[in-house]
C-alpha cells in the first residue's frame, strides 16, 4: 500500500474525528500528501510541571488543500506548526513532505526544505529590517539557485500580484503591518513551495490588513497553493476547506467546510431582521 493510500485511511486522533476530507480527493489521492505527520509529541520541560503542547497528532494535508487549525491560545497550535516546518523538533513522531520522510533532517536540511518546499509566514512578519523590500523577496530565490534576472522577474510578478508596485526600494519599517505581511507572503512564495505554513498571519494586523491577507490566501489557494494556517480567528479559518479544532495539544475535531451540514437557518436566517 502506498503512503498516499494508507494515509487517507489513517483516522485523525481525537474523540470526534470526522469524515475524511474530500476536496479534490480523486486527483489528490494519486499524489502523495504534501504533508503527513504521525504521532507528533512535544513536551516543554522547564521549571515546574512539564507542559504537554502537542500530544499525539496525526495530520494529512493533500496537494492544493487549504487547512486551518484553530483553538484557544496555549492549545499548542503554533507549536504544532513549528514542528511541521522544522522550526522545532518533536520528542517523537514522523513527518513526510511530498512522500519523503523528513523528521530526521538536520537544521541545514530543514533550512533547505524551508527554502524550496515550504514557505512560512509569521505573525510578526520576520522580514530582514535592513534589507529593502525587493532584497527581502529576492534573497531566498537567489539562495535557492535562481539567477539574478529570474529572481528580479519573480519578485516583480509577486509585488504586482500583491498590490505593492512601487515599494521595491522601501525598507520594511516604512510599511504598514498589512504591507509587511504581503511582503512576507511574497518572500514565502517566491520559490513556489508546495506548502505554505502561516502562523497567525493576521495576529498583528488591523481589520483592513486582516481582510487583505484573507483575500490573498484565498486567491493563492484557488490557484492550487496548499496552505496550512494556524489562527485563533474563526473568520479567517472559515476561508479554508477544512478546519481542525485544536484543544489541549490534541485534534478535537476535523471538519470539512462547504459540504452542507443540513439544518441551521443558514445565511438567510442569520441576516433576517426580526420584528
From CA 228, how far away is CA 66, in angstroms rounded?
6
Q: How many residues in the shown chain lie near another protein by CB under 8 A?
A: 32
Tell me which of 100, 147, 150, 261 binds another protein, using CB under 8 A.
261
For 78, half-sphere exposure in the C-beta direction (CA atoms, 13 angstrom radius) is 12
Nearer to another protein, 72 or 224 (CB): 72
Strand blocks (E) in the chain: 35-44, 51-61, 66-70, 92-97, 100-101, 118-121, 195-199, 226-230, 242-247, 250-256
Contact window for another protein (CB under 8 A) among 53-61, 161-169, 191-199, 244-252? 244-252
Q: How far is the CB of 261 from another protein (least distance, A)?
A: 5
User: Mapping DSSP to helix (H, G, I), strand (E, B) and coil, where does residue 191 land?
Assistant: coil
Contact window for another protein (CB under 8 A) among 41-49, 144-152, 159-167, 261-269? 261-269
Tell me which of 11, 39, 72, 109 binds another protein, using CB under 8 A.
72
First-residue to last-residue Cα distance in the chain: 60
Asked if 146 and 206 touch (Cβ cutoff 8 Å), the reply is no
166 lines the binding site for another protein (CB under 8 A): no
User: Mapping DSSP to helix (H, G, I), strand (E, B) and coil, where does residue 128 land?
Assistant: coil
From CA 191, how far away is CA 154, in angstroms rounded?
9
266 lines the binding site for another protein (CB under 8 A): yes
Tell me which of 39, 163, 224, 258 binds another protein, using CB under 8 A.
258
275 lines the binding site for another protein (CB under 8 A): yes
Q: How far is the CB of 275 from another protein (least distance, A)?
A: 6
Contact window for another protein (CB under 8 A) among 90-98, 129-137, 169-177, 239-247? 239-247
Nearer to another protein, 153 or 256 (CB): 256
Nearer to another protein, 224 or 258 (CB): 258
**List of long-range contacts for 164-169, beta carbons under 8 Å, 24+ apart:** 164/133, 167/133, 168/132, 168/133, 168/134, 169/132, 169/133, 169/134
Nearer to another protein, 71 or 90 (CB): 71
From CA 76, how far away is CA 55, in angstroms rounded?
9
Q: What 3 state SS string does 56-88 have?
A: EEEEEECCCCEEEEECCCCCCHHHHHHHHCCCC
Asked if 98 and 117 touch (Cβ cutoff 8 Å), the reply is yes
User: Mapping DSSP to helix (H, G, I), strand (E, B) and coil, where does residue 267 land?
Assistant: helix
Nearer to another protein, 147 or 261 (CB): 261
Tell me which of 57, 59, 237, 244 binds another protein, using CB under 8 A.
237
Query: Could you give the string, one character per residue 87-106, with x where binding to another protein holds by CB under 8 A and - elsewhere?
Result: --------------------
Q: How far is the CB of 241 from another protein (least distance, A)?
A: 10
Interface with another protein (CB under 8 A) = 15-16, 70-72, 233-235, 237-239, 243, 245, 247-248, 252-253, 255, 257-258, 260-261, 263-264, 266-268, 270-273, 275
Amino acid at each position: 500500500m502506498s503512503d498516499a493510500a494508507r494515509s487517507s485511511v489513517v483516522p485523525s486522533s481525537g474523540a470526534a474525528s470526522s469524515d475524511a476530507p474530500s476536496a479534490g480527493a480523486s486527483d489528490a489521492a494519486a499524489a502523495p500528501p504534501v504533508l503527513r505527520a504521525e504521532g507528533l509529541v512535544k513536551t516543554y520541560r522547564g521549571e515546574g510541571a512539564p507542559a504537554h503542547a502537542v500530544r499525539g497528532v496525526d495530520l494529512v494535508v493533500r496537494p492544493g488543500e487549504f487547512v486551518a487549525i484553530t483553538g484557544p491560545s496555549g492549545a499548542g497550535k503554533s507549536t504544532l506548526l513549528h514542528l511541521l516546518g522544522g522550526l522545532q523538533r518533536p520528542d517523537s513522531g514522523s513527518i513526510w513532505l511530498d512522500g519523503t520522510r523528513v523528521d530526521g533532517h538536520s537544521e541545514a536540511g530543514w533550512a533547505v526544505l524551508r527554502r524550496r518546499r515550504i514557505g512560512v509566514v509569521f505573525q510578526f512578519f520576520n522580514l530582514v529590517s535592513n534589507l529593502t523590500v525587493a532584497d527581502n523577496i529576492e534573497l531566498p530565490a537567489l539562495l535557492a539557485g535562481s539567477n539574478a534576472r529570474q529572481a528580479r522577474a519573480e519578485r516583480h510578478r509577486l509585488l504586482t500580484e500583491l498590490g505593492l508596485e512601487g515599494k521595491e526600494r522601501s525598507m520594511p519599517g516604512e510599511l504598514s503591518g498589512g504591507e509587511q505581511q504581503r511582503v512576507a507572503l511574497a518572500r514565502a512564495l517566491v520559490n513556489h513551495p508546495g506548502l505554505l505554513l502561516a502562523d497567525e498571519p493576521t495576529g498583528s494586523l488591523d481589520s483592513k490588513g486582516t481582510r487583505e491577507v484573507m483575500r490573498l490566501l484565498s486567491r493563492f489557494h484557488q490557484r492550487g497553493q496548499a496552505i496550512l494556517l494556524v489562527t485563533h480567528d474563526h473568520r479567517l479559518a472559515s476561508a479554508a476547506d477544512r478546519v481542525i479544532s485544536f484543544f489541549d495539544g490534541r485534534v478535537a475535531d476535523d471538519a470539512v467546510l462547504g459540504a452542507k451540514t443540513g439544518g441551521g437557518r443558514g445565511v438567510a436566517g442569520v441576516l433576517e431582521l426580526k420584528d
